[in-house]
Amino acid sequence: MEKPRFNIVDFLIIVLIIAVGFLGFYILGSKSGTVATAEKTTVLVTIEEDDIDENMRDMYLENAKVGAKVKMGIREKVEGTLEQVRVLPETEEYTNPITGAKEAVAKIGRYDMTFTIKAELNETDRDFLIGTAKIKIGKELNFVGKGFSGYGNVVAIEDGGEENDK
């Protein structure tokens, strides 16, 4: 019985399979337009942190001053400037048993805070990016400054007033 021999047709089939594999990896793995067309732009990102107690509120008010340098994002990749800090009493919906009307009632000793940070982000035709991570309204984002750090939801992304096309 003869052993099967390796010939040129077998070699061409192997090369064709490898080429199709690389082509499929290139087509499925590419994210066309995400990073290649990114431009730097200045935006105001507002992050809301919910359910803060009085001690945490006082710590933020003592350390988070307007003009402070803040790093935000995954592994704090983007540096920005704190533009505004707001404190609001946390509210919950309450149904009045007498009138049946729904009312917003403040929770005692609980607060919501918003932090507006001015930063340069990469902007594509579809997204704002920190590195390759997308920044969207509703997305959770951390921020770190000298003496404070927080974690909340992005509630607004606005034009920062300066066009810095680099």
Residues contacting residue 28 through CB under 8 Å, at least 6 positions apart: none
Q: Is residue 12 part of a domain?
A: no
Q: Is the pLDDT of residue 158 over 80?
A: yes
| Helix, coil or strand: residue 121 | strand
Question: For residue 106, what pLDDT is reported?
Answer: 80
> Higher confidence at residue 25 or residue 153?
153
Q: Is residue 15 part of a domain?
A: no
Q: Is residue 11 part of a domain?
A: no
Q: Is residue 116 part of a domain?
A: yes
Q: Is residue 25 part of a domain?
A: no
Query: Within 13 Å and on the Cβ side, how many CA atoms surround 89?
Result: 8
Question: For residue 5, what pLDDT is reported?
Answer: 79
Q: Is the pLDDT of residue 58 over 50?
A: yes
Q: Is residue 16 part of a domain?
A: no
The pLDDT tens digits for 74-125 are 766 788 899 999 998 888 888 888 888 888 888 888 899 999 999 888 888 7
Residue pointed to by tokens 């607060």: 111
Number of structural domains in the chain: 1
Question: For residue 18, what pLDDT is reported?
Answer: 95
The pLDDT tens digits for 136-152 are 888 888 888 898 888 89
Q: At residue 65, what is the residue type?
A: K
Cα–Cα distance, 123 to 50 (Å, whole number): 28
Range of the domain at 54: 39-159
Q: Is residue 3 part of a domain?
A: no
Q: Is residue 121 part of a domain?
A: yes
User: To the nearest whole percent, how much of the chain has pLDDT over 90?
Assistant: 16
